[in-house]
Structure 1
């Protein structure tokens, strides 16, 4: 399982990213300051770093400079409220592997995380097909099949199904699914998760997705 370090001082964003990545099968650790975050990063225990620019002590550019200055080659994806070309160029020229402006969708962040980790054959992200019993998802072609029969899923339905197949048998809360599939800026009071689970039941099989009362849903 890939280990991802999140250096982000906004609790809501840090929680959203961490929950979503865990639902996608990654292990996460969060730090909210640049100095401590850099210390954790250089330990070498992480496969990827998600780094915010606007940190309370030293900014993300300084953190990145420290990491690259110590020879750390771990992929770094920078997050920032700044979207100017100057800042983007500064981040990339400073050694960042990718650069995303806030607000962002979790789907896009997850795609970029997978891209940076794809070269590691030991990660879940490198798998091109997720399977559970007679249900399969091809992550490369974005096709779903049930007992060898192709089923048409929308992009959102596919991402939701992927969250379940990454964690078969595990109860996923509505909050986890909301943050990992729809993003941190989506209304937490929405019933969109329940609606889309109904869509998946209709297309992939009612008995496949179990409701765990008061907790969430589980792929059985």
Structure 2
């Protein structure tokens, strides 16, 4: 089934290049020239869009504003952020707002296409994996792809969910950053391993708001992370 990608980019040349290259890769492409048009297009096509490529600097509503509003409705939809500002603080802000990945302009089209393929690669799930993982009142449902605490759904991005699911499946084991990258982002990922640290921090921030959650994600210095019951 053909995947649909929405591109929100105000630079005409890049907008056209993205549309052309993505179409050649057999994706259906929706294009928005500013943030407000992007939000309107998203509302009109909810359930049809499989991934969003979103520029940071947009007229009317900037990329962060677009991302935050979309995340309220769909915490799982993959979003790749484009930014011309090569500052780590900007990248972290985008990831904290719910982006799954980012690319700094200018970028190589082949690298963007590779990252899209990673996003679309289906998770290989072992047949022996349980339908859910549970610690106390915290439930990670592997069939519904959601997390529940005290009967309320906890909003996680696609990557946050993937990292947490992996840690639950390897509870008590120490996973290296490379192992987490390969399992959640895919072996084609070409970014920095410290992106794992960003997502673990986001997960911890969400988990610490839940009283008596029953587990914690520990840092194993110089190696990676492990999930243990508290």
TM bucket, shorter chain = 0.5 to 0.7
**1:75 counterpart (61, 74, 78):** 78
Shift of 1:55: 0.4
* Residue in 2 that maps onto 1:66: 69
Q: TM-score, normalised by structure 1?
A: 0.53
RCO comparison, higher one (Cα < 8 Å, 6+) = 1
**1:88 counterpart (91, 95, 100):** 91
Deviations 1:72-110 (CA, angstroms, capped at 9, x unpaired): 421000111111000000001111000000000100000
Q: Decide whether the 8 Å contact of 2:9 with 2:54 is kept in 1.
A: yes
Q: TM-score, normalised by structure 2?
A: 0.51
Q: 1:97 aligned to 2:103?
A: no
Gaps in structure 2 of 5+ consecutive residues: 125-185, 188-230
Shift of 1:111: 0.4
Deviations 1:171-206 (CA, angstroms, capped at 9, x unpaired): xxxxxxxxxxxxxxxxxxxxxxxxxxxxxxxxxxxx
Report the CA distance shift for 1:120/1:22 in structure 2 as closer, same or farther (over 3 A): farther
**1:118 counterpart (107, 117, 121):** 121
Q: Distance in 1 between matches of 2:50 and 2:123?
A: 9
* Residue in 2 that maps onto 1:53: 56
Q: Distance in 2 between matches of 1:12 and 1:71?
A: 29
Query: Any idea what SS the aligned residue of 1:45 has?
Result: coil
Q: Distance in 1 between matches of 2:26 and 2:123?
A: 15
Q: Distance in 2 between matches of 1:46 and 1:107?
A: 22
Query: Any idea what SS the aligned residue of 1:30 has?
Result: strand
Shift of 1:71: 3.1
Report the CA distance shift for 1:26/1:120 in structure 2 as closer, same or farther (over 3 A): farther
Q: Decide whether the 8 Å contact of 1:35 with 1:58 is kept in 2.
A: yes
* Paired residues for 1:191-210 under 5 Å: none
Q: Distance in 1 between matches of 2:101 and 2:62?
A: 17
Q: Distance in 1 between matches of 2:123 and 2:26?
A: 15
Gaps in structure 1 of 5+ consecutive residues: 122-139, 142-220
Q: Give the paired residue count.
A: 124
